[in-house]
């Protein structure tokens, strides 16, 4: 089959930029809050059918996921949660590729804080505004229009191109996990999360913990006769802060931009006491404990528990009244694709051709579906997409159309180089 010229691909994407812009606007105007993604998924399925893809809409079933070690139960009803998978069958002789993105968007919060409706899809000064524009309808649009551009050039892939729009990413990844349990595999996966067009192939993990610290209540006028749970917690907090610094000194990951912030520990919530003039007899703290890439969850948990135990042991009160440690809610493992994985080289080369500069490699400190591909499907996976995670989950979220166009070009070149094939007569 004749090969396709790079300049033809780049020009085709440029020609489709107005359509791409409208597509993102329409996508943002459909609120796809967790558990309510079905209308958006229907919209996307229609678009994939227009592309001539074989489309499967499948309900994510709790029964199929329960019992899997990576399943995080997010308490969202499963009756309306639909994954959409489009398959562009290869003609053989090439590598297969999954393009994965999530349909769900987080709540817009207090709508009055927004300059316009969170679902406006307003285009202003080259940016499209609305919840989900950056995270991650811009990325989904880039993948759809990469395929559209190639289709218009008569391209037929060698290996399969599989587009996945999944639910439940923001609350633990049930959508992608369902595709993996169903056996959906490829030679590599690109997840179009907002990475500012950097190649993020390493992801930290995170665990949520609850610490209950006992004290002894007494009237505040006699405070030395009681034990303040708040003051005892302060001792533990200082120890956690030193533990965090020590872990970051001992575990290096060159790919992260800030070596002191790879897998942070942070307390997000505390509650104690119920009366201003009573010494509090109980404090409950909840927080997030980061897990380094390559670190085993069980070992990380054991180190954390040992730290709490040792700190309590060196305090007269806490030694006799030890704090209780519980692991609650979701537990997100770290994930990693080897730096020499071929997909990183192919994607990086396409990026360099489009942007005129080498792609930066990075690691991310947040959880994503990358870990599910690397840990449970034995697949190399990388996050790569338009937009900045700093602009995700915020009021007046927006995406720059020009950056989505760049991502579209890079993805189109990557599909051709990775999957092989070329321009052939319609099959």
Q: Please give the positions annotated as active site.
A: 104, 169
How far apart CA 163 and CA 49 sit, in angstroms, is 12
Q: Is 147 in the site for Zn ion (CB under 5 A)?
A: no
Nearest distance, CB of residue 72 and Zn ion, angstroms: 15
Tokens found for residue 63: 């029964």
CB of 216 to Zn ion, least distance (A): 46
Tokens of 220: 């505040």
193 or 403: whose CB is closer to Zn ion? 193
Region 293-332 residues binding Zn ion, contact defined as CB under 5 A: none
Residue with the CB atom nearest Zn ion in the bound state: 135
Residue number with CB closer to Zn ion (283 or 399):
399
Q: Which is nearer to Zn ion, 134 or 408 (CB)?
A: 134
Pairing of strands 282-291, 205-214: antiparallel
Task: Sort strands 199-203 and 335-336 into parallel, antiparallel or unpaired.
Answer: antiparallel
Residue 331: strand pairing partners: 207
CB 194 within 8 A of CB 391: yes
Residues 165-184 touching Zn ion, rule: CB under 5 A, are none
What's the min distance (Å) between Cβ of 214 and Zn ion?
39
Alpha-carbon distance of 398 to 379, in angstroms, equals 31
CB 23 within 8 A of CB 399: no
In whole angstroms, give the CA distance from residue 12 to residue 152.
8
> Quick one: 135 or 295, whose CB is closer to Zn ion?
135
**Ranges within 104-143 binding Zn ion (CB under 5 A):** 135-136
DSSP-assigned states of every residue in 103-117: --------GGGSSS-
Closest approach of Zn ion to the CB of residue 102, in Å: 6
Question: What track of x and - describes contact with Zn ion for positions 62 through 101 (by CB under 5 A)?
Answer: ----------------------------------------
Nearer to Zn ion, 4 or 84 (CB): 84
Closest contact distance (angstroms) between CB of 390 and Zn ion is 13
CB 178 within 8 A of CB 83: yes
The radius of gyration of the chain from alpha carbons, rounded to an integer in Å, stands at: 24
> What does the binding site for Zn ion look like in residue numbers (CB under 5 A)?
135-136, 193
């Amino acid at each position: 089959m004749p090969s396709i010229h790079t300049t033809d691909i780049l020009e085709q994407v440029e020609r489709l930029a107005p359509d791409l812009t409208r597509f993102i606007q329409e996508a943002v105007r459909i609120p796809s809050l967790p558990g309510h993604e079905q209308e958006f998924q229907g919209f996307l399925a229609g678009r994939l059918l227009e592309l001539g893809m074989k489309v499967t809409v499948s309900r994510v079933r709790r029964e199929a996921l329960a019992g899997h070690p990576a399943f995080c139960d997010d308490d969202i009803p499963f009756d309306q949660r639909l994954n959409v998978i489009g398959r562009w069958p290869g003609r053989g002789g090439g590598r297969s590729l999954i393009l994965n993105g999530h349909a769900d968007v987080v709540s817009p919060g207090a709508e009055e804080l927004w300059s316009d409706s969170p679902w406006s899809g307003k285009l202003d000064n080259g940016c499209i505004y609305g919840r989900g524009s950056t995270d991650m309808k811009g990325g989904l649009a880039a993948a759809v229009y990469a395929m559209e551009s190639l289709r218009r050039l008569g391209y037929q892939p060698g290996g399969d191109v599989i587009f996945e729009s999944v639910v439940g990413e923001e609350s633990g990844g049930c959508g992608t996990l369902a595709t993996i349990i169903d056996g959906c595999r490829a030679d590599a996966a690109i997840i179009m999360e907002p990475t500012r067009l950097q190649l993020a192939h390493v992801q930290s993990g995170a665990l949520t913990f609850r610490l209950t610290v006992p004290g002894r209540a007494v009237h505040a006028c006699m405070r030395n006769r009681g034990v303040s749970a708040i003051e005892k917690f302060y001792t533990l907090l200082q120890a956690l802060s030193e533990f965090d610094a020590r872990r970051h000194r001992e575990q290096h990951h060159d790919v992260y931009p800030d070596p002191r912030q790879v897998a942070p520990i942070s307390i997000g919530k505390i509650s104690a006491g119920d009366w201003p003039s009573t010494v509090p007899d109980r404090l409950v703290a909840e927080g997030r404990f980061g897990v380094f890439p390559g670190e085993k969850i069980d070992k990380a948990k054991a180190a954390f528990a040992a730290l709490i135990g040792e700190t309590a042991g060196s305090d007269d009160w806490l030694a006799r009244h030890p704090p209780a440690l519980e692991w609650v809610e979701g537990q997100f493992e770290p994930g990693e694709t080897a730096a020499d994985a071929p997909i990183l080289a192919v994607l990086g080369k396409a990026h360099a051709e489009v942007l005129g500069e080498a792609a930066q490699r990075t690691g991310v400190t947040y959880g994503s579906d990358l870990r599910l591909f690397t840990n449970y499907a034995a697949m190399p996976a990388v996050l790569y997409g338009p937009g900045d995670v700093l602009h995700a989950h915020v009021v007046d979220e927006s995406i720059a159309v020009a950056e989505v166009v760049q991502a579209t070009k890079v993805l189109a070149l990557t599909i051709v180089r990775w999957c092989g094939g070329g321009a052939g007569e319609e099959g």
